[in-house]
Structure 1
């Protein structure tokens, strides 16, 4: 698995000297692309070595990867490739309560320059709903993390949607997993 990531980063590093067309055509975009890609690799490798103990490394690694994507995006013209801010905000006032599970987040509007909204638009991924009746609560995101399966934030265990965890037992499970990954296209090398 680590070898796969090394090969992926090796290929991405090669694009720093031979940047995608949109980044190569503009000095500022090229500088941003090269620097953001390098910082993304450094931060994501560091995050991988310390694990979930430091989510900030992962967050900022992903943020830098997003900046590299925006700088290389041919669909973003003029200054539209510049990202400004995170693009995700906590509902005002909620942090004053002790209810961690109840913390809700909202995204910037699609026409804003915040990283999350701009990249969601660029990648064709829907934004979280802004409807106050269907907010994105921290406990929903929390329950998506396999490491948090036994650490609920909310009070209602029946309402939890936890991540499916498959623990391979022996070589048969590993072979099935590899076969599935090859068929579904998630891993080119199998």
Structure 2
């Protein structure tokens, strides 16, 4: 029997390399891990099994002993300009707030930017609410990552489902397709 890997933080009963448990991930996440050009980054991703009823950030962190500074939220944003809407994903540490009205709007050159409605975010990503992750986003979407996330040695993000999370190096998130690391994305 292979020894279970140890996560860099938190207390989880089940931990496994994500590539070994792709059936537990949302389809777009499993496909993204399987086709990620940076194989080292893909192999660095851990899956931790968790209670879907405790997926909300504050409850999750308290339940599993994860510091807010090591947990990141992936937020889907709708940016409008000239009658066209652009979808983008933004990743910020859980103890910060995404600056949608200034940083995101300015970067996407939009007249208006706002959080995408939950049902639209779920439909467009193919992921569950409470589990949306930067791994496996639709092709062509901008992925804006706050520089603090990219600097975090290991960060916890969704798995595409409410059950389970992924842990990976912040630098691996910055290497995802379409990723752009920005200063001041969060406040």
Q: TM-score, normalization: structure 1?
A: 0.26
Instruction: Determine which structure has the larger strand proportion and give its number.
Output: 2
Structure of larger gyration radius: 1
Instruction: Determine which structure has the larger helix proportion and give its number.
Output: 1
Higher relative contact order (CA 8 A, sep 6+): 2
